[in-house]
Amino acid sequence: MKVSALILTYNEERNIAACLESLDGIEDIVVVDSGSTDRTCEIAARFGARVLSRPFDDFANQRNFGLDEGGFREDWVLHLDADEVATPAFLAALAALQPTDGIDGYRVPSKTMLRGQWLQRSGMYPTYQVRLGRRDALRFVQVGHGQREDLPPERVGTFPEPYLHYNFSHGLTQWLRKHVAYAQAEAAQLFTDRQIPLEPRDIFDGDATRRRRALKRLVNRLPVVVRPPLRFVHAWIVRRGFLDGPAGLQYAVMLACYEAMIAAQVLDLKAAAGARN
């Protein structure tokens, strides 16, 4: 399969070159930049990418803008962020892919990297996002701090090879600062999910995507104060993150901290809702 690529950026001069270099053989690349003040756009243009600019509001709108305005030459588009890298095995699987009728997108696994190490267990591998789709069919909606494909599950296939996600390339302080904002979006989504009736039969749905989302809605009904320790236990013990060594412990602690941020935001939303009633 031949594809175009769409990359989202904001002040990514330290990452964008590695991302673009990894897309060996993909000649049609569009960068949607959110107003970088460093050399991101200059570097992207040097690699031959077309650079579009749009003020950031959320990830879904950035990707949809790129799909609408990018003028892509290929029917299929690969979506990456600047801190994500395609491997030779990923590109080989992409070249060999033969889309079947009725499939408009593919959920793609990623490997979370910390200190140059793949967090095989604590990083929850394999987790999937739809990152490959037909240019004219795949669009995104914002859910929490991230985006979700606007496609029926039966029109989504599974891609076999992961890309690498260097999620901490800007340093841990920047990761924590960024996740404070993410926690606000996740708390608002969690607060909304709690108002939606949960259908128990969805938990046993034969479709893995529907089942995973139903389970998430179920977990969202747990008391928020238990979520941080449960997140640590899940990553460190249930997922055997201890086998990832010190990096696995560090990441499990960071996940628990993130859950604590979300819990604090949810409690604040509940207090505000109570004050209005």
Same domain? For 107 and 26 the reply is: yes
pLDDT in tens, 31-47: 999 999 999 999 999 99
Q: DSSP letters along 159-196, please?
A: -SSPEEE-TTTT-HHHHHHHHHHHHHHHHHHHHHHTTS
Domain of 40, in residue numbers: 3-165
Same domain? For 23 and 59 the reply is: yes
Q: Which residue has the higher pLDDT, 146 or 103?
A: 103
165 strand-pairing partners:
84, 112
Same domain? For 159 and 233 the reply is: no
Cα–Cα distance for residue pair 107/184, rounded to 1 Å = 26
Average pLDDT, the chain: 89
Same domain? For 161 and 176 the reply is: no
Same domain? For 51 and 91 the reply is: yes
Same domain? For 128 and 199 the reply is: no
- Torsion 119-229-212-64 (CA) sign: negative
CB 110 within 8 A of CB 163: yes
CATH of residue 89: 3.90.550.10
The neighbour count for residue 148, using CB atoms within 10 Å, is 16
Same domain? For 8 and 137 the reply is: yes
Contacts of 70 (CB under 8 A, 6+ apart): 4, 6, 30, 32, 50, 52, 77
The neighbour count for residue 90, using CB atoms within 10 Å, is 22
- Domain ends where: 107, 134, 165? 165
Same domain? For 102 and 25 the reply is: yes
Domain count, the chain: 2
Same domain? For 155 and 214 the reply is: no
pLDDT in tens, 173-208: 888 888 888 888 888 877 776 666 666 666 566 566
Same domain? For 215 and 269 the reply is: yes
Single pTM value for the model: 0.85
Same domain? For 158 and 237 the reply is: no
Cα–Cα distance for residue pair 200/217, rounded to 1 Å = 10
- Domain ends where: 114, 144, 165? 165
Residue 277 has pLDDT above 60, yes or no: no
Same domain? For 160 and 178 the reply is: no
